Amino acid sequence: MSSKRLWTPSRRTILSGAAASLAAPAIVRAQSAPVKVGVLLPTSGILAYSGQVAARGVQLAATVAKESGAPAIEVISYDTQSKPETGRTGVESLVNAGCSVLIGAWDSAATISAAQACEALKVPLVINIASAPQITEQGFTQIFRNFTPAGQLIRAAVQRIKEATEGRSPQPKTAVVLYANDTFGNAILGALNKLWVDLDVPITILDRIGYDEKARDLSVEVAKAKATGADIVLPITRVNDAVEIVRQMVKQKWNPLAIMSPGSPGPYEKSFTDALGKYGDDYMVSVPWYDPRNADTQKLVKRFETENPGQRFELNAGFSYEAVQIVVDALARCKSNAPAEIHAALKTTNITNHPMYGGPIMFDAKGQNPNIGCVLLQDRDGVPLVVGPADVAVAQARYPLLPFDKR
């Protein structure tokens, strides 16, 4: 990845908009009114923390664009309240407010609902985060997903796990899966089951234990997982349940060789490491992530964390930042606020310089970006570090997990 600026509009103009709105850049035909961009995120409810971090990524992108010079755009936000059905109602509300292109919706179920509405209304939707494979398999023509579908995500995650456990001493031979029994969790589990076999991982999965993602007590599920005697734990979680699983492991004195999550939100978030302190260390998760070697990305991360004290720049912020970048790029090329023209421009996206690890941002016939990379992270002293693959790692994975009672 080059060290050029993350994006630089070709013309400079004045950015304007209401104080309550987020502004994002665009190059459009001369006009007095700003182009309206709708953003759907779960900024309240069970997914609120992640949604709020994503909103900060949008805000940073708007700020960077303003400094670079851009026409007026008004970003209108809609809170999905962590409810799947609000994806559709959110789209209808934002389109009624005059939005020409939308970004969202973080959660797979809400995104599917939003995609259905966008299809009916013929308004393009740039998906910042949502991994359910059916999103790009239902024939939607208005979606552009800059996030890995479950199959692609888990293929990379299983490969990272296989690499990290090969040649280790003691060699792990068995595993147990703990998974959130929702749209996201079942999509990840289905892909994991298939790819574990396809990639010939020499570790036997002894059991797959599901739970309600809203459950506050996972003592029974963790006890059942512990009883398998598995060497490693493969959690498929959100942030709150990831915290609860570790707390129960500490309480039940369960010290497996490793905790290695195959593609889950949560363990890299600051709310996870803050809640668990030293007990969150050594937890590994394989996810799309920003490129820690890129000089521009390093500056972006530092700026985000300076402007948002106590927050962490991670994939929620990063992919939301890129979603604005994608919209900006399309508007710069189509020079229009007409949804059909924005849609046509999005289809020819080719962005080579962006913060997240992987190749150019572009979309195939189904609206999927196939070039997103995946890394293996490990929490160390409360900070997620890239420990694989070798070409992007900044540290070596620590194995086996340090027993909780020895920390």
- Return the amino acid letter for 348: T
The reply to whether 87 falls in a domain is yes
Write down the pTM of the prediction: 0.82
CA 25-299-50 angle, to 5 degrees, is: 70
Q: Do 319 and 401 belong together in one domain?
A: no
pLDDT of residue 291: 92
Q: Do 107 and 227 belong together in one domain?
A: no
pLDDT of residue 71: 61
pLDDT of residue 74: 85
Distance spanning both ends of the chain, measured CA to CA: 39
Q: Do 315 and 339 belong together in one domain?
A: yes
Q: How far apart are alpha carbons 323 and 142 in whole angstroms?
A: 15
The reply to whether 2 falls in a domain is no
Which H/E stretch holds residue 333?
helix 315-334
The reply to whether 367 falls in a domain is no
Q: For residue 52, what are the domain limits?
A: 35-148+291-347
Q: How many domains does the chain have?
A: 2
Q: How far apart are alpha carbons 332 and 25 in whole angstroms?
A: 9
pLDDT of residue 234: 98
pLDDT of residue 70: 65
Q: Which of 29, 89, 24, 91 is nearest to 58 (CA)?
A: 24
Q: Do 337 and 394 belong together in one domain?
A: no
Q: How far is CA 272 from CA 84, 275, 278, in A?
A: 24, 5, 11
Q: Do 259 and 382 belong together in one domain?
A: yes
Q: What stretches of 199-291 show up as alpha helix (H) in DSSP?
A: 219-227, 239-251, 270-276
pLDDT of residue 214: 84
Domain end residue (candidates: 331, 347, 363): 347
Rounded mean pLDDT for each run of 10 residues along the chain, 407 residues in total: 33 25 35 82 93 95 79 86 95 97 95 97 97 92 95 91 93 97 89 95 98 93 98 95 97 98 90 96 96 93 95 95 94 92 98 95 97 96 94 93 96
Q: Which residues contact 283 (CB under 8 A, 6 or more apart)?
A: 246, 259, 261, 267, 378, 379
CATH of the domain at 309: 3.40.50.2300
pLDDT of residue 263: 86
pLDDT of residue 265: 82
Q: How far apart are alpha carbons 139 and 12 in whole angstroms?
A: 38
Q: How far is CA 132 from CA 77, 92, 144, in A?
A: 23, 22, 14
Q: What stretches of 36-107 show up as alpha helix (H) in DSSP?
A: 48-68, 86-96
pLDDT of residue 17: 26
